[in-house]
Structure 1
Amino acid sequence: MNGDGGIILTAEALIAGATDTTVREGLGVLVAEGRITAIGPLDDLAVMAPGAERLHLEGCVLMPGLVNAHQHGRGLTQIQLGFPDMILEAWQTTKRRRGWLDPAAMVPLAAMQMLASGVTATIHANTTWGEAGRQPDDLARTIAAYDAAGLRALVGIGAQDRASLVFPAEDQPGFVAGLPPELRELVGNPDPPIFATTADEAATLHDRIAESLPGHGRITLAFAPAGPQWVSDALFTGLAQAARTRGGVPIHMHALESVAQAAAAQRLYPEGTLARLEALGVLGPATSLAHAAHLTPADIAVAARTGTRLVRNPASNLRLGCGTAPLAAYLAAGVGVAVGTDCQTMDDDEDLWKELRLAARLATVPSWQAAGPPDSATLLGMATTQGAATMGLAGRIGQLAPGLAADVIAVDLRRVRGVYADPSVPLLDLLLARADARDVRLTMVDGRVLYRDGAFPQMDATAIAAAAAEAASRARAPWSPGREAAVAGLVEAVRAHYAARAP
């Protein structure tokens, strides 16, 4: 859409970002070669770039693109794929009802949904697509899909070496031995090599993929250990070392997501989960912990001291019986917090605006002495600058400023304002209280318009939807009445395992 002369974006207003929430009118954004060249009055920009294309977004505000800091690229939601909500560990067990999902079909649909909601960058966490030994090929398919979509993505290389069926690991042999024969047959190898099982394997895979990444730099890699109860100290130490020797590769993991995980952590890490991770060299500004719904005060202090970032996933935690992360406590301690959908939003629609709003509502503490919910600048920061830092892209995306990547969105203000909006209410407050994906008119990544007014110039939406539906249908291949019954029995056995160990 924009040629060599660049493009000038104009709208009713502009909000540069979380560190400068002033609403400015009469300004445009000059974009050239994937970057923001200048921000200023239209006449000045026209003089700077007389050959630039002009694109005016009537009734809109220009803002930095949003960052979805934790999701799995599934495109179709869990209930669409046949996995209704239930408590997390039981829900994870139901995945045995289906087979491999092709990320080449799933990720493009997820990318479309994110672009349509104003997301320009995302963290694709370690993802089990349903078959051991496929991670290298699945990662290649995932990266190719994000590259084709144009979305900026940090893609996680999964690592796990224990407790795939139940945790703590020392409980798993007895659990399997106690299952009836038909369920032991269903389980097979209780620790299949879904992800890398050693640090050397993960590092080798990282290096091989890094050599073939597209040269534009939109796709980067992270080490993605599955989570403390699934990863041994030796594997954590090796991954931390591999990340350091490669210049500070980000580490992104699930941590303390559920009640069962918190209970297991008390046994595994009596000194505190984050204290152990710090001692193993895992924590720091390049490390982020998704969910983090059950951090203790001591854990919070470690996260703040080490600069470790947390990613809030409010709807996922509610839908899967994990509880509510104490966002207010995290922010009060000075912890950097981003936000992600986890492909499990409250309205099942992959809308990051609503997730951000839900996080804010759940942070309201019923006390006159409490600080109150996060203010609008903090919330916008969670969805932009904090997400950028979590991706290792601080100072490169997340703000509208000259020299930064041209990741820009335009949000229509008409429905947001409705029939009346009191002029005393700041525009950013109004946006964060009322805007959602329906209001996004344009999404630009690296200076390319990837979404505008319901259309995707670079993508065939009809073909992508059809491919996702076909892949989901193929994933039903293992289904049979007998398998369905066996999985249901295994789910109940898993429930009983954790219920017997609940505090």
Structure 2
Amino acid sequence: MSGDGGIILTAEALIAGATDPAAREGMGVLVAEGRITAIAPLEDLAAMAPGAERLHLEHCVLMPGLVNAHQHGRGLTQLQLGFPDMILEAWQTTKRRRGWLDPAAMVPLAGMQMLASGITATIHANTTWGAAGRQPDDLARTIAAYDAAGLRALVGIGAQDRASLVFPAEDQTGFVAGLPPELVELVGNPDPPIFATTAEEAAALYDSLSDQLPSHGRITLAFAPAGPQWVSDALFAGIAKAAHARGGVPIHMHALESVAQAAAARHLYPEGTLARLEALGVLGPATSLAHAAQLTPGDISVAARSGTMLVRNPASNLRLGCGIAPLAAYWAAGVGVAIGTDCQAMDDEEDLWKELRLAARLATEASWQAAGPPDAATLLAMATTQGAAAMGLAGRVGQLAPGCAADCIAVDLRRVRGVYADPSVPLLDLLLARADARDVRLTMVQGRVLYRDGHFPHLDPQAIAAAAAEAAARARAPWSAGREAAVAALVQAVRAHYATRAP
């Protein structure tokens, strides 16, 4: 949008970030070559850059772009794709009802939705698109889609070597042997190579994809082991070694998401799940654990000591019967916490504002002795600086400051204020209590305007929507009445397996 002279953004107010949450009037942001050059009054910025373009966002506040620290790039929701809510392990089994989803069609729709809600950066977790052996090509398609959408993205390379059908792993053989022949046929290989099955394979894929990444630096890679009950000690240790050998590559995984996972973890890791992961070299400031709804006090202590980041996914945990993460306990222990939608938000839309509010409400404890609800700066940090840290981008995104990437948004204040807003209420408190995706007027990533007033200058929303719908329809190819009945029977068998385990 801007020429060599850069661009000056101004609005009614500016909130620099979680460490500087006060709303300041009369301030603008000078952007040049994808970075914030200065934050100062308009007249000062005009003197610094007399040739800069000017963009004034009336009735708006300028603030850092949001970071969605855990999602899967699907664009269409799980319900839209034919997977209604149910307890997690049963829900995962229903995925056998459908075939391969093309990420080249799904990810652009997800990217468009995130941009429209003020999300400028995201962690794309290990994602099963529905076909074994496709991960290298699926990741290449995913990277290209994020590049075209313009978002900043950390893309996870999945790794898994056990218990794809049921866990713990030693129970899977007996489980399959006890199934009727038609369900054994449906299952086929119970551990298909959806993701990398060895650290060497994951590392080779990382190296290959790294060589192909765009030079602008918006897209980076993480190792994304599926989760403790799905990954052996040897694979974890190998991935940790590969990450460290490559300069501290981020590691992002699901961990202790459900009651069933917690029960399996007590068996697999009697010393504590996070204690084992720490001993294997997996944990540390470059590692983030999604969901983490079932951490024990010991796990929380390890997360705090190691500097491991937790990613809260409140609606997904509620919708899939996983419980409520003890967020207040995480904060009390000094654990860093980010937030993500998991493509499973409460209103079945990709709106991180509402997820943030839900997390805050669920963190409020019914006790006079409790710390009380989280303050607005803590919540904003979850959606900005903490997410940036989980991406390995601390100090580079998540705040408006000279030298940082120009990843910023403008939020319209008219609906947020409504007919009256008491002047004693800080603007950030008002925003986090009332704003949502409808109020986002502008989204800029690396100095480039990618969304403004309902329009995407660089994208064709109709073509993206049509491609996503076509890909979803193609994914129904395996469907038949017989397959539907067989999957339903397999779901019941999986339910029975976990129902016999200790809660």
For the aligned pair, the TM-score class normalised by the smaller chain equals over 0.9
Is 1:235 aligned to 2:239, yes or no? no
Q: Determine the structure 1 residue equivalent to 2:116.
A: 116
Quote the offset at 1:502 in angstroms. 3.1
What is the aligned partner in structure 2 of residue 426 from structure 1?
426
What is the distance in 2 between the residues matched to 1:43 and 1:375?
A: 34
Deviations 1:222-272 (A, max 9, x none): 000000000000000000000000000000000000000000000000000
Cross-structure match for 2:305: 305
Q: CA–CA distance in 2 between the matches of 1:137 and 1:373?
A: 45
1:242-321, aligned counterparts within 5 Å? 242-321=242-321
Letter in 1 for 2:224: A
For 2:495, the equivalent position in structure 1 comes to 495
The one-letter amino acid paired with 2:226 is A
Q: Secondary structure at the match of 2:167?
A: coil
Q: How many angstroms apart in 1 are the aligned matches of 2:372 and 2:391?
A: 28
Which amino acid is 2:72 matched to? H
1:265-286, Cα deviation, whole Å (9 max, x unpaired): 0000000000000000000000
Query: What SS is found at the alignment partner of 1:16?
Result: coil
- In the aligned structure 1, how far is the partner of 2:14 from the partner of 2:30? 13
Once residues 119 and 307 of structure 1 are traced to their aligned partners in structure 2, the CA distance between those partners, rounded to angstroms, is 25
Distance 1:383 1:222 in 2: 19
Amino acid in the other structure paired with 1:198:
T
Question: What is the distance in 2 between the residues matched to 1:321 and 1:36?
Answer: 43
In 2, the alpha carbon distance for the partners of 1:267 and 1:493 equals 21
2:31–2:406: 8 Å Cα contact kept in structure 1? yes
Provide the C-alpha distance between the structure 2 equivalents of 1:141 and 1:190, rounded to a whole number of angstroms: 26
**Separation (CA, whole Å) in 2 of partners of 1:465 and 1:81:** 14
| CA–CA separation in structure 2 for the residues paired with 1:108 and 1:2 | 24
> What is the DSSP-based 3-state SS (H/G/I as helix, E as strand, rest coil) of the residue aligned with 2:210?
helix
Alignment of 1:76-475 (within 5 A): 76-475=76-475
Counting only pairs closer than 5 Å after superposition, residues 40-59 of structure 1 correspond to structure 2 as 40-59=40-59
- Distance in 2 separating the partners of 1:33 and 1:459: 22
Aligned residue identity for 1:27? M
Larger mean Cα displacement after TM superposition, 35-44 or 67-76: 35-44
Residue type of the alignment partner of 2:42: L
Q: Secondary structure at the match of 2:22?
A: strand
- SS in structure 2 opposite 1:55? strand
Q: Distance between the aligned counterparts of 2:423 and 2:239, measured in 1? A: 52
1:199-241 CA distance string (max 9 Å, x none): 0000000000001100000000000000000000000000000
Counterpart Cα distance in 2 of 1:23 and 1:430: 11
Q: Does the CA-based 8 Å contact 2:324-2:362 persist in structure 1?
A: yes
TM-score by length of 2: 1.00
> Percent identity among equivalent residues?
88
Counterpart of 1:431, as a letter, is: L
Deviation at 1:102, TM superposition (A): 0.1
Partner of 2:65: 65
How many equivalent pairs are there?
A: 503
- Shift of the alpha carbon at 1:373? 1.6
Q: CA deviation at 1:50?
A: 1.0
What letter is aligned with 1:330? Y
2:13 aligned partner, one-letter code: A
Q: CA deviation at 1:3?
A: 1.5
Maintained 8 Å contact 2:272/2:298: yes
Aligned partner of 1:483 in structure 2 is 483
